[in-house]
């Protein structure tokens, strides 16, 4: 589920083992919808979960072949159906950022843009440099407060995407590297 203001959106997951995950939230979503006449409950079109959704040859590709696909931000998902994981999105104000990844395709970003634009939201795709298996935007960046975002130094945004933030006065700080510590 994604919540954008008063809008609750069920995500059409990319993984077959997570396809029905939205059902766990339905009692709560139903309660919120009934208690707040201004809330909206939306469901993205359910995808087919057919093999045709995926680049089935992805796991058989050489690393060079995958690297070439990643240059175009093409991963294991095709763009024929709407496929996304809610964890690939973050929001600041009226701006929603969606990471194209192993669990979110370009078609999903377009669907969310069309769905949310009438409500005053702008949906932006984000592209991560050199990431071999992108998934979940909080592994890439986290909005700490208005004007400040923490970026994973190993997963930087492409310059064009980062420029949008910088041109609007945002500052980027690098997330700390993990420390190997031994416990007593």
Instruction: With beta carbons less than 8 A apart as the criterion, state whether 106 and 78 touch.
Output: no
Per-residue pLDDT tens digits for 151-183: 999 888 889 999 999 999 999 999 988 887 676
Per-residue pLDDT tens digits for 120-134: 999 999 988 767 777
Task: Write down the pLDDT at residue 143.
Answer: 95
Domain boundaries, the chain: 2-174
**Average pLDDT, whole number, for the chain?**
90
| pTM for the whole structure | 0.86
Question: What topology does CATH give the domain 2-174?
Answer: 3.75.10
Per-residue pLDDT for 65 more than 90?
Answer: no
Task: Write down the pLDDT at residue 161.
Answer: 92
Q: Which of 7-16, 48-57, 86-95 is the least confident region?
A: 48-57
DSSP 179: -
3-state SS, residue 122: strand
What one-character-per-residue DSSP string does 26-50 give?
A: HHHHHHHHHH-TT-EEEEPPPP---
Determine what percent of the chain is predicted with pLDDT higher than 90. 61
Task: Write down the pLDDT at residue 183.
Answer: 66
Instruction: With beta carbons less than 8 A apart as the criterion, state whether 135 and 101 touch.
Output: yes
């Amino acid at each position: 589920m994604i919540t954008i203001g008063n809008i609750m959106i069920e995500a059409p997951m990319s993984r077959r083992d997570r396809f029905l995950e939205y059902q766990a939230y339905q009692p709560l979503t139903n309660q919120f919808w009934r208690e707040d006449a201004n809330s909206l409950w939306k469901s993205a079109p359910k995808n087919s979960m057919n093999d045709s959704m995926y680049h089935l040859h992805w796991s058989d590709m050489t690393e060079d072949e995958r690297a070439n696909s990643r240059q175009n931000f093409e991963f294991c998902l095709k763009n024929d159906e709407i496929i996304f994981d809610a964890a690939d999105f973050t929001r600041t104000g009226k701006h929603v950022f969606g990471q194209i990844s192993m669990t979110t395709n370009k078609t999903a970003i377009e669907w969310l843009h069309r769905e949310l634009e009438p409500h005053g939201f702008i949906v932006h795709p984000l592209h991560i440099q050199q990431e071999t298996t992108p998934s979940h935007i909080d592994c890439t960046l986290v909005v700490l407060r208005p004007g400040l975002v923490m970026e994973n130094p190993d997963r930087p945004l492409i310059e064009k995407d980062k420029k949008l933030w910088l041109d609007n006065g945002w500052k980027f700080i690098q997330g700390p590297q993990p420390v190997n510590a031994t416990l007593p």
